[in-house]
């Protein structure tokens, strides 16, 4: 590709949420799904159009395109890539998150490289689109209001619900935009205690920006309640947080229209 040096510098020195392997470079992501992803039981997406809500750097969007046969992906994220906080946090946590988001923005460090690639900010989704030459687009938007977007064959929402105050509105918005099926990946899931094993539980974490932990049954119940049918767990898995070295439980859940 053109401007290979600039791209490689961003891959090597940039802040990455996911590990990508490109040009023999491995980005230092918070999460490395590169080998795990093929074991997660995602269905094939041949010729399907996908809406990836909370798409971040587009790791899953690229996987849908390059490995699962999707025809097109629209990634939507609330991140403006201007260092402002891209999560709904309680007011009392705003300063803490603000510092975190400023420290994560690598645009000041790599502005010359981004500009050389024709990129105006540090949006990694657009970087990935360019580097892999993918038929994907990015739009700024919130999961709480997807009305401006078309309907898609498939909707996907990865590791976002646990950060939201109002997961039910979010799932309902996904339902409205889904033609065939919706896949939700949810992080930090919990098991119901044995004596409450038939209860759909969610637990407030006490945090100001990572609000709830869910049992699989609670996610399934929310999906069923907004109208999804044949809701089932595709996979329960654990993934390491590279910085801390411990593994965090996830659930991948599918529901059909």
Ligand X SMILES: C[S@@+](CC[C@H](N)C(=O)[O-])C[C@H]1O[C@@H](n2cnc3c(N)ncnc32)[C@H](O)[C@@H]1O
SS3 82: coil
- The per-residue b/e assignment along 74-106, b for 16 or more CB within 10 angstroms, e otherwise, is bbbbbbebebebbbbbeeeeeeebeeebeeebb
Binding mask 113-152 for ligand X (x = CB under 6 A): -----------------------------xxx--------
d(CA 136, CA 238): 28
Smallest separation (angstroms) from ligand X to the CB of 256: 21
Smallest separation (angstroms) from ligand X to the CB of 23: 22
Nearer to ligand X, 87 or 107 (CB): 87
In the complex, residue closest to ligand X by CB: 158
d(CA 201, CA 197): 9
Nearer to ligand X, 78 or 221 (CB): 78
Nearer to ligand X, 6 or 77 (CB): 77
| Residue 62 vs residues 3, 20, 44, 120, 226: alpha-carbon distances, Å | 21, 10, 14, 21, 28
> Which position among 15, 27, 159, 218 is part of the footprint of ligand X (CB under 6 A)?
159
**Per CB under 6 A, which of residues 73..92 are in contact with ligand X?**
77-79, 86-87
Tokens of 194: 């044995």
Site for ligand X, rule CB under 6 A: 53-56, 60, 77-79, 86-87, 142-144, 158-160, 163, 185
């Amino acid at each position: 590709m053109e401007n290979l040096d600039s791209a490689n510098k961003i891959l090597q020195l940039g802040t990455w949420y996911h590990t990508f392997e490109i040009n023999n470079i491995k980005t230092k992501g918070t999460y490395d799904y590169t080998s795990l992803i093929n074991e997660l039981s995602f269905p094939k997406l041949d010729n399907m159009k996908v809406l990836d809500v909370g798409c971040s750097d587009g790791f899953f969007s690229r996987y849908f395109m390059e490995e699962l046969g999707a025809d097109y992906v629209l990634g939507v994220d609330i991140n403006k890539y201007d260092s402002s906080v891209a999560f709904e946090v309680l007011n009392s946590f705003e300063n803490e998150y603000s510092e975190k988001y400023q420290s994560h923005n690598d645009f000041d460090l790599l502005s010359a490289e981004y500009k050389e690639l024709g990129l105006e900010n540090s949006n990694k989704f657009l970087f990935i689109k360019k580097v892999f030459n993918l038929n994907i687009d990015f739009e700024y938007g919130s999961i709480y209001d997807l009305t401006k977007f078309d309907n898609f064959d498939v909707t996907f929402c990865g590791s976002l619900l646990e950060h939201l105050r109002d997961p039910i509105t979010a799932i309902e918005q996904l339902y409205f935009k889904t033609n065939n099926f919706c896949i939700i990946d949810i992080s930090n899931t919990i098991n119901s205690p044995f004596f409450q094993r038939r209860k759909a539980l969610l637990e407030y974490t006490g945090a100001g920006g990572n609000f709830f932990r869910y049992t699989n049954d609670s996610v399934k119940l929310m999906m069923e309640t907004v109208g999804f049918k044949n809701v089932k767990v595709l996979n329960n898995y654990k993934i390491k947080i590279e910085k801390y070295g411990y593994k965090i439980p996830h659930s991948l859940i599918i529901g059909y229209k």
